[in-house]
Structure 1
Amino acid sequence: MAIDVDKDGKVGCAYYVAMDETLMLEEDIPMGGIEAVDTLLLHVQPTSIIIPNRAPGDLVDFLERDAHRFDDNERSCGGQGAYILRHIVSAQFDYEAGKEALARVDHGSSKPDPIEVLTSTEEPVQSIKSSARNRLMRLAEKINLESCLSVGCAGAVLTDLERRRTAEDSSSEEGDMAFRFRVRFIEMNTSADTMLVSGDSLISLQILQSELHPNPQTRSSKNSEPKAKEALSITGLLQALASSAQGKRRLRQILLRPSTDIALIQERHRSIEVLLHAENGELTKSMRKLLRKLKNTKTLLLHVRKGVDRIRGQLSLRVGDWKALLRFAMVSTQLRQAIHALKGASGIEIFDQIRTEVDVKRFLHVGDIIIRTIDFQLSKESGHTEILPGASEYLDGLRREFADVCHMLPELREAAVRDAPWKAAEYIRHCTVMPELGFLIAVKLDPETGEGVYHGQDHPEGEWIMCFVSEDVVYYKNQLMLDLDSQYGDLPSRIADEEIEVIMALAAAVLEHEEAILGASGLFGELDSMLALALAAEKYNWTAPTMTSSNVIDIVGGRHPLQELLVPSYIPNDSSIAGGCGTGLSEETNMATNGSRTGPAPSMLILTGPNNSGKSVYMRQVALIVYLAHTGSYVPATRATIGVTDRILTRIATRETVVNDESAFLVDLKQAAFSMNFATRRSLLLIDEFGKGTTAESGSALFTAYLTYFLDLGMERPKVLAGTHFHEIFENGLLRPGKDVAFAHMDVRLDPDAEDPEEQVTFLFHLLPGRGSSSLGVLCAATNDVPSDVIRRAEAVVALQDRNESLVEVCSALSEEDKQRLSQAELVARRFLALRVPSSARGQGDGTTVREMLQGVLAPEEVATQGT
């Protein structure tokens, strides 16, 4: 993955997917900055990142936080980063060089360059330029060449791939390379028809939530990347319902790139509706079972393309891959038949594509040639690939010849025994034939000499030639063995070579159908993703949302898809907000129409009320319902009308780290700035307790100005959900409810007479209109085991604040114990000042010394008596 950021914050990115042999480019993201880079890392999850030497310092610092460190201390601790970060020469990110590199590897079009007729005055070099121009024109049909930074990044990726190919070619044999880093496809991800969900939003909404493997040894095994798994998140929840690797991968792509194309979203909704139809229940179950049998066909075909795999220095042919390909052919046929039997599937693209594009005859042909070539039963017994008789006449002939030779081996031993002295007969064990060594005779080892007890001594033909020693046996060649070698040759090696030729021929026959297999695999991945979404809708009681071009969000009975799995009962809540209608449109275009609520909806809903009452969960549930609707999934709600939303931006979670020298408040400010720079009227913003990282005065001022900025956008204002505990904003009239602003709070029931603090407040988690009067922070502290003296002190301070009394007096007030100690100290001072100290050090005339006088002043009983 290559990343570049210019001085204005524009971000370019390109990355190579080795399994797909695809070079992907992202459109340049203006003013994206570090936030856009963070989002790209979450989407791509790269193993290696390259950046130019001139990269901005903040980009370098950000990427180095999670980069793999190669110093000894990190290695000894087992700490490994998520990726390898490398700095390369900035010239490799040059735009013109990137265009030329892309044009050279553009294999996406099979159209030849048009033949141009040259006049007598034209130079031949013009035709070369014309060919390059034609390649660039074809390239421009697939990627936006105006994304200069991303094109430069693509050039850097291609240069790095060339370096890797050169390195592997020089260090590996041709058959050992798993990847050739070949670029077969070039694609570009565009922002058109795609909802932008920032990296902070992906984390704070728990769309993505990875965690390290609980086993430390697995988590940081030697020469491997850190093992992570998806924790409780939307991605983890839905991917667990997919049956195949293709389905899990396609589902992740859908989840990370929600669509704003209403037609596509509705097509997915119709697909889910068909799969949920009662008459199709058994068919969907059988399709899930069939999909579980599929392996990743891209990996399978990669192994087929290699043909053989080197294991422990020996060539071993894969049998599991052929079995998986055979299973793919059988499953493809059964899945196509199941699609034909689905009720109501006609006219839905994914089902129509499977019916028309999955060539059953072709796949059955592939399965047939595999069945006629591979002996799976014998392969299972022997541990390596066995070729069936009849797959190759030449191989069958070699095998018959080898079988005849094996029958000859006992006779060869008898012949060797007859030629040897009678005393040596007992030491000749057997005759055998081995690959590359040919025919051999085995003799018992003499431990004293390290040779055979008999090895042709006193034989007319001379002594035998020793080949090797194995345990207590020495293998020799005599003249008879040499004659057999010349007559039959190296039969085992010839058989092995012919088996490889047969397998290579089978691989070539299968690879003729590679595009069809990959195409069908992609369709099955899409089908599996729809089956997973349908299963989620059935399992978690989700319903189909109504998508509209109006800029509204109207939800009845909405639920949080993750939170409801963790509590015994979940209280649903409604939501109704609408963004600006845009220039030239009337406000009536954005109306809430669910239930009995019909009328203009506010663009901003501000939530107040007690801590722990469910405000943050409510905001997240609205965002997740909008997000799931744009992925084409059903949503956790009784009914929902969702307007097309182009971006979900959040100011919720503050992701801090010890290697980041930015304060929590500064991180919050950057998130707020990002949302202000990128929000449009179709965006949804979640703002939770912005401004809490500084003083109450500054925080409330920033929060008010932040919300006012969006309200002042007028017809271009976005949809905003905000939560705050700055009640002084409303008490001072800085934000008032109106047509565009509404207040709401979560319902609670208070019982001040209850002795147990936990029984004094009951959270009902039900949204009510209007502003909450208190945050009940002290009561929440009491229910969370904060010491009682701290609670009493806090209650006293809150009471003074409610009476608008000065907190200075409270903070300067003394406790009873302090007052008593101060009174005692005052009495001691008064007694000391009342003393008449004599001029003589001997004391007074009654014999009392000065020391005794001072001790009397400090005597506690006297102090107490004086105090009374």
Structure 2
Amino acid sequence: MSNQWLSGASRKTGKINNEMVSTDKGAAVDNNHANINEDGDDDGEDDSGMFSFNYDEEVVMCIDLHSGKVGCSILDYHTKTLKAFNQDHAINKSTITSHDLIDEADKSAHDINLMVGLLIMEMNPTVCLVPVRLEDWIFNHIKKKCDEVKCRLELQPMKDFKKLDLLESLHLNGHDNLTVLNDLLSNSRFTTGVTVGTVACILANNEQHAELDSCNDSTASSNMITGRLSNNRFENVVHDIRYIDLKDRMVLDENTISALNVLPAAHKLGHDNMMKNGSLSVFELFNRVSSDYAKRMLKSWLFNPLTNKKQIEQRYCIIRILLDRQNSVLFDELTQSIKRCPDAFGFINQLSSGKSTLGTWSKVVNFLEKGINIFKLVNSLKLSPDNGNLFHDIKRNVDISALKQCLRKIMAVIDFDTSRDTKTVTINTGVDERLDECRNVYDHLEGILQEVAREAQTFLLSALSQTDCRMTRNLDVLINAVYIPQLGYLITVSALLEPFLANITDLEWEEIFRSPEDVYFKNDKVLELDETYGDIYGVISDYEIEVLFSLQEQILEKKAELTSYSVLLSELEILQSFARISVERDYIEPQLMENNCVLDIINGRHALYETFLDDYIPNSTMIDGGSFSDLSWYNHDKQRIVIITGANASGKSVYLTQNGLIVYLAQIGCFVPAERAKIGIVDKILTRIRTQETIYKTQSSFLLDSQQMAKSLTLATEKSLILIDEYGKGTDILDGPSLFGSIMLNMSKSERCPRILACTHFHELFNENILTEHIPGIKHYCTDILINQNHVSGATQIKDDHENEGITFLFKIKEGISRQSFGIYCAKICGLNKSIVKRAEELSNLINMGDDVVQQCGKMTKKEMSVFQKNQEIVKKYLTWDLDLEASTTSENLRIKLKNILR
């Protein structure tokens, strides 16, 4: 920033906090550290070009496992919300170690790892605190999950978990906050002891970083408005305290999240239209929200599908209202109005901490304007009489008059047009009489300084001799008067005149400081100005800060209303995204069943794959497993297991994930891609689809697959859904099919069998002695194909010798068993060498005919026998050739004779 000095003959300047700034009319406060982008936001970059650390974006989690109980708490510095378990999560009390995981202990370890992993992925903490005494097996799991989300894992001393006085020192407002706090403290000896310890640890960690936080504040802009000091040391850290509700949530492990592509796992490559318009993950599909808080809420919803039918149907109700034809115009207006709606937690934090800038106030105004408009649109919607949905919450709980009052106050105080030009927060004229008077003086200061400069010039002309006067012409250029904030009013004399000033004996001017070009003095006149007007720029700044502080206090009085409304708007933005996708992709509202083990989907589609295709081939699924409470369901002609067979590349894996996604979407509260869907509510989706391999794992693929399979079977209940894709591959040709068949038979007789969709290529299992088509509890589906040369799929039985003829994949599912994998044909169309494919066909035919492959491969063909006999004749001729008789034969003749033998 350039040094611009204000003189009576030029322009006014100011100097605040050792920064020389140019001050125009109405300038309120220095914004020399505030970089404002096009949206009016503070970009967080200081003058040095370095980005400063933003502690407001920290999410601190603390996890502890002690005495058979798991405790967890989370402090989100952005929303100033502290969340904790409503009670410690009890586990099996037997000692669990990484070397002794059997039976119930094994199940408990799976349960803990699953819960902890989900919490870390959902909350996406930046820091995770754990006690030093934590056992290795759980510490290693937490470390692995923290590495995946790039979270710092920090060990904490045990003394920090015992500082319950920190929890008691919390002073929170509101009945709900006090109820939760008192409940945690009163039950700390019985049901919340471990959790309360984690809360104490987070608060202790905050105190340890208080000094760092203070250092960050010291670098803030002079435009900050500092709030009043308080005896409550956590006043600006914790505003609300809530429970982490583990009930009514579907459980998803990391395998399921990966298999269903819930979060982005790859980047889009290239620029073709298919990749451009398609969605690689569920998050990308629905990510039409603008604020960071709404994105975080969307991720939380994706990690926590609901299991409470009423809560799910409340979300359906909002989508239904938005898609009602009577509301179509309002739906479009609502979509436009809610775009880029600011996050109230962000600007409230900036106001509370004194870090408000022009960008902050612009966000407040933008939020209020959008919020008022959205409220009007919601009131114009045609709503059902149901009182339990989000729209009724907005109409009933939002104080629209308070929003309008806040907006009027801000617009009355801040001149945004001038502020955008000056990049400073400018106060309107008429807000404060004292401020207006000081500005009036400041505006006329240039004329006052010009008069002072002329008097100084006149004095020097009279005091200098005639010779000096002739030598110092143009005194109006060499002598000036300036005003510098904090230093006051000064006479500036060019350094060229300093030798002549020494000749003036009665010059009673006090030198203040000098620069290479000028010397700065105080005389009686400028001292009089100091007394009359004082540090006018500083006084203006003080008055402006006082006005802004008063406005800030009035806005913060509505903090609870603003943040509550912001949460409602974030929920609405997510649901309008669900509605927009539902209407664009022709989704339908599913029917949910609380007590029936059913999965009835008519013409379902894959929510992600169809975004890449113009025409997606739908498929239906019908599983009727009776009621969840029926322990002898398999004796009542019910099926809970579906085994899918079929050719390679015919769509079996897509069919699995398609059904998993339909159930998943239904329980996050979205419509689903199908013509009709009836779904019994699922408590867990567990998968063995993708082998979770990483470079730091030394286990084989089959071992990893078996671990996933064991975990799924261990955690599953009668309300769960398990998706299995070709379990058993990668091991012995007998062991793999045996394991798969054993699992299917065992689960078909289990009283609490979950719904299972399983794909396999083990066709040898489907005979009269193993997995017949008539086993109770199991249903068989296969993929349909069309074989060329007049062999229509399904019309005639496929013969072995037609396995590798031209095949058309229909990507349709039908009832029945496919006994051919068509792997060789799949390899052929993938570009495998023709000679390899041909030899594979020969070996396949030998196996299909029941021949001994080893014996057959040991026999020579007629062609091989002919070549062998020719080679024998050559060898005989060579052995009977007496080379001793050829001693005198030339080399050329020997070469000719050898050539004749080899022929």
Question: Fold conserved (TM > 0.5)?
Answer: yes
Q: 1:203 pairs with 237, 258, 266, which one?
A: 258
Aligned residue identity for 2:421: E
Q: 2:286 pairs with 222, 226, 238, which one?
A: 238
SS in 1 for 2:568: helix
Distance 1:655 1:187 in 2: 35
Distance 1:214 1:555 in 2: 33
Residue in structure 2 matched with residue 278 of structure 1 by the alignment? 325
Aligned residue identity for 1:168: D
Residue in structure 1 matched with residue 374 of structure 2 by the alignment? 335
Please, which runs of 5 or more residues in structure 1 have no aligned partner?
69-80, 114-133, 216-229, 310-317, 591-598, 837-842
Q: Is 1:469 the counterpart of 2:515 in the alignment?
A: yes
Q: 1:532 pairs with 577, 597, 600, which one?
A: 577
Aligned residue identity for 2:367: F
Superposition deviation, residue 366 in structure 1:
0.8
What pairs with 1:292-691 in structure 2 (closer than 5 Å)?
A: 292-308=339-355, 318-348=357-387, 349-421=389-461, 422=469, 423=472, 425-428=475-478, 430-444=480-494, 458=504, 460-462=506-508, 464-469=510-515, 475-549=520-594, 550-579=596-625, 581-583=627-629, 587=633, 601-691=638-728
Contact 2:266 2:280 in 1 (8 A): no
Superposition deviation, residue 297 in structure 1:
0.8
Distance 1:86 1:180 in 2: 26
Distance 1:580 1:34 in 2: 32
- Percent identity of equivalent pairs: 26
Distance 2:567 2:325 in 1: 27
Q: Is 1:731 the counterpart of 2:777 in the alignment?
A: no
What pairs with 1:98-247 in structure 2 (closer than 5 Å)?
A: 102-105=167-170, 107=172, 138-139=183-184, 146=191, 150-169=195-214, 172-173=217-218, 182-211=237-266, 232-240=280-288, 242=289, 244-247=291-294
Residue in structure 2 matched with residue 72 of structure 1 by the alignment? none
Aligned residue identity for 2:79: D
Distance 2:888 2:143 in 1: 77
| Mean CA deviation greater in 679-688 or 808-817 | 808-817
Residue in structure 1 matched with residue 754 of structure 2 by the alignment? 718
Superposition deviation, residue 375 in structure 1:
0.9
Residue in structure 2 matched with residue 116 of structure 1 by the alignment? none
Calculate the TM-score normalised by the size of structure 1: 0.81
SS in 1 for 2:306: coil
Distance 1:347 1:308 in 2: 43
Superposition deviation, residue 9 in structure 1:
10
Residue in structure 2 matched with residue 121 of structure 1 by the alignment? none
How has the CA–CA distance of structure 1 residues 788 and 858 changed in structure 2, closer, same or farther, with 3 Å as cutoff? farther
Superposition deviation, residue 298 in structure 1:
0.5
Superposition deviation, residue 53 in structure 1:
3.7
Contact 1:664 1:693 in 2 (8 A): yes
How has the CA–CA distance of structure 1 residues 532 and 92 changed in structure 2, closer, same or farther, with 3 Å as cutoff? farther
| Mean CA deviation greater in 578-587 or 494-503 | 578-587
How has the CA–CA distance of structure 1 residues 282 and 753 changed in structure 2, closer, same or farther, with 3 Å as cutoff? closer
Residue in structure 2 matched with residue 120 of structure 1 by the alignment? none
Superposition deviation, residue 582 in structure 1:
4.1
How has the CA–CA distance of structure 1 residues 153 and 736 changed in structure 2, closer, same or farther, with 3 Å as cutoff? farther
SS in 2 for 1:674: helix
Aligned residue identity for 2:312: I
Distance 1:824 1:112 in 2: 98
Superposition deviation, residue 258 in structure 1:
1.1
SS in 2 for 1:14: strand
Once the two structures are superposed, residues 216-254 of structure 1 have per-residue CA deviations (whole angstroms, 9 ceiling, x without a partner) of xxxxxxxxxxxxxx96211211122x3555544433332
Residue in structure 2 matched with residue 224 of structure 1 by the alignment? none
Aligned residue identity for 1:691: G
Higher relative contact order (CA 8 A, sep 6+): 2
Aligned residue identity for 1:438: G
Once the two structures are superposed, residues 476-510 of structure 1 have per-residue CA deviations (whole angstroms, 9 ceiling, x without a partner) of 44443233223322111121122112111111110
Distance 2:856 2:164 in 1: 71
What pairs with 1:18-97 in structure 2 (closer than 5 Å)?
A: 18-25=77-84, 28=89, 30-31=108-109, 32-57=111-136, 59=138, 82-89=149-156, 91=158, 97=162
Superposition deviation, residue 824 in structure 1:
6.3
Residue in structure 2 matched with residue 807 of structure 1 by the alignment? 853
Contact 2:143 2:153 in 1 (8 A): no
Residue in structure 2 matched with residue 251 of structure 1 by the alignment? 298
Superposition deviation, residue 193 in structure 1:
1.0
What pairs with 1:1-20 in structure 2 (closer than 5 Å)?
A: 1-2=60-61, 4=63, 12-20=71-79
Contact 2:248 2:308 in 1 (8 A): yes
Aligned residue identity for 1:266: E
Residue in structure 1 matched with residue 98 of structure 2 by the alignment? none
How has the CA–CA distance of structure 1 residues 804 and 161 changed in structure 2, closer, same or farther, with 3 Å as cutoff? farther
How has the CA–CA distance of structure 1 residues 474 and 605 changed in structure 2, closer, same or farther, with 3 Å as cutoff? farther
How has the CA–CA distance of structure 1 residues 88 and 632 changed in structure 2, closer, same or farther, with 3 Å as cutoff? same
Distance 2:665 2:80 in 1: 30
Once the two structures are superposed, residues 573-618 of structure 1 have per-residue CA deviations (whole angstroms, 9 ceiling, x without a partner) of 1111134634467859x9xxxxxxxx96520110111111111111
How has the CA–CA distance of structure 1 residues 144 and 485 changed in structure 2, closer, same or farther, with 3 Å as cutoff? same
Superposition deviation, residue 151 in structure 1:
4.7
SS in 2 for 1:420: helix
Superposition deviation, residue 629 in structure 1:
1.0
SS in 1 for 2:671: coil
Aligned residue identity for 1:373: V
Superposition deviation, residue 428 in structure 1:
2.7
Distance 1:110 1:571 in 2: 54
Residue in structure 1 matched with residue 103 of structure 2 by the alignment? none
Contact 2:645 2:817 in 1 (8 A): yes
How has the CA–CA distance of structure 1 residues 12 and 135 changed in structure 2, closer, same or farther, with 3 Å as cutoff? closer
Superposition deviation, residue 722 in structure 1:
0.3
Distance 1:821 1:329 in 2: 92
Aligned residue identity for 1:291: I
Q: Is 1:260 the counterpart of 2:307 in the alignment?
A: yes
How has the CA–CA distance of structure 1 residues 689 and 292 changed in structure 2, closer, same or farther, with 3 Å as cutoff? same
Contact 1:165 1:181 in 2 (8 A): no
Superposition deviation, residue 161 in structure 1:
2.3
Q: Is 1:709 the counterpart of 2:746 in the alignment?
A: yes
| Mean CA deviation greater in 206-215 or 45-54 | 206-215
Q: Is 1:700 the counterpart of 2:700 in the alignment?
A: no
Calculate the TM-score normalised by the size of structure 2: 0.78
Aligned residue identity for 1:263: K
Distance 2:259 2:533 in 1: 73
Contact 1:558 1:572 in 2 (8 A): yes
Superposition deviation, residue 175 in structure 1:
6.1
Please, which runs of 5 or more residues in structure 2 have no aligned partner?
1-59, 92-107, 227-233, 271-277, 462-468, 792-802
Distance 2:377 2:353 in 1: 34
Contact 1:239 1:252 in 2 (8 A): no
How has the CA–CA distance of structure 1 residues 783 and 285 changed in structure 2, closer, same or farther, with 3 Å as cutoff? same
Once the two structures are superposed, residues 139-169 of structure 1 have per-residue CA deviations (whole angstroms, 9 ceiling, x without a partner) of 2799996366555444433332222224433
What pairs with 1:783-822 in structure 2 (closer than 5 Å)?
A: 783-809=829-855, 812=858
